[in-house]
């Protein structure tokens, strides 16, 4: 499959950043990673979601747009393979799960204004992982601000991704069930994922593979 822009997505703790880094290193690809560690609203949001959800989502919206616009919107940059550990639609998915209806309606107006200005991925990969395993992964990486994440919150995020995936027909989407894999520590698992991504042609819409 001819891929110039690969977006790897997934729930919190699914391993999307690790996989993006591995693919980028092997193929000497341009790597676009979401910048979230320095967001001042993130720890505040996990402690008080109702108060800080809107400023958090707006700050992520601006940061993701600026990063993607700078990193991958120039078509000349596609002469080099680019892999990102998120896609802009993530903004809408998380906002739907955290904002009130009125806040979300306002947020979506801002989203729609700028979404059309960004390029679409040649392939969008979604790593499906059960919430129970996600919680273990989150615990293992030990970020203090993630300690309050619940299974219910992860379920809401996952459902948001599924709703988006079911409705999307603009570009190919590959849903990978990676519950039984450890591609970070097991080279053969990584090779299996890589083969599925790069050795097949996927039609626009949803394509599902369980590994």
Q: By CB neighbour count within 10 A (0-12 exposed, 13-18 middle, 19+ buried), where does 106 fall?
A: middle
The reported pLDDT for the residue numbered 121 is 93
Is 38 part of the annotated catalytic residue set? Answer: no
Catalytic pick among 38, 74, 85, 180: 85
The reported pLDDT for the residue numbered 47 is 87
Helix (H, G, I), strand (E, B) or coil at 125: strand
- d(C-alpha 181, C-alpha 193), whole Å: 9
The total domain count for the chain is 1
Q: pTM, whole model, 2 decimals?
A: 0.88
φ, ψ dihedrals at 44, nearest 5°: -65, -40
In Å, what is the CA distance from 186 to each residue of 13, 180, 181, 183, 191? 17, 11, 8, 5, 9
Contact 7, 28 (CB under 8 A): no
Name the residue range of residue 206's domain: 5-210
| Cβ atoms within 10 Å, residue 112 | 10
End-to-end CA distance of the chain: 19
Q: What is the pLDDT along the chain (211 residues), one digit of tens a residue?
A: 689 899 999 999 999 999 999 999 999 998 999 887 678 898 888 889 889 999 999 999 998 888 887 766 554 555 578 999 999 999 999 999 889 999 999 999 999 998 888 888 999 999 999 999 999 999 998 888 888 899 999 999 999 999 999 988 889 999 999 999 999 999 999 999 999 999 999 999 999 998 8
The reported pLDDT for the residue numbered 84 is 93
Q: Name residue, tokens 């069930």.
A: 177
Strands, sheet with 172-177, edge to edge from the N-terminal-most edge strand: 30-32, 82-84, 5-10, 123-128, 172-177, 205-210
The reported pLDDT for the residue numbered 78 is 52
Crossing angle, helix 151-167 and helix 131-141, to 10 degrees?
120
The reported pLDDT for the residue numbered 171 is 94
Structural tokens at position 46: 């996990």
φ, ψ dihedrals at 7, nearest 5°: -110, 130
CATH of the domain at 70: 3.40.50.300
The reported pLDDT for the residue numbered 211 is 82
């Amino acid at each position: 499959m001819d891929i110039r822009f690969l977006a790897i997505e997934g729930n919190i703790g699914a391993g999307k950043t690790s996989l993006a880094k591995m693919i980028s290193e092997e193929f000497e690809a341009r790597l676009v990673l979401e910048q979230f560690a320095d967001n001042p609203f993130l720890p505040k949001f996990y402690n008080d979601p109702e108060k800080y959800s809107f400023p958090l989502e707006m700050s992520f919206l601006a940061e993701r747009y600026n990063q993607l616009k700078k990193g991958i919107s120039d078509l000349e940059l596609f002469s080099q393979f680019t892999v990102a550990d998120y896609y802009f639609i993530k903004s809408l998915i998380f906002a739907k799960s955290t904002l009130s209806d009125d806040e979300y309606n306002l947020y979506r107006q801002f989203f729609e204004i700028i979404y059309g200005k960004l390029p679409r991925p040649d392939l969008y990969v979604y790593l499906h992982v059960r919430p129970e395993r996600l919680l273990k992964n989150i615990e293992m990486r030990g970020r203090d601000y993630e300690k309050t994440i619940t299974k219910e919150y992860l379920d809401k995020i996952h459902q948001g991704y599924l709703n988006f995936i079911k409705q999307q027909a603009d570009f190919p989407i590959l849903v990978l069930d990676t519950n039984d894999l450890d591609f970070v520590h097991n080279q053969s698992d990584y090779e299996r994922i890589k083969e599925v991504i790069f050795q097949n042609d996927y039609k626009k819409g949803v394509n599902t593979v369980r590994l």
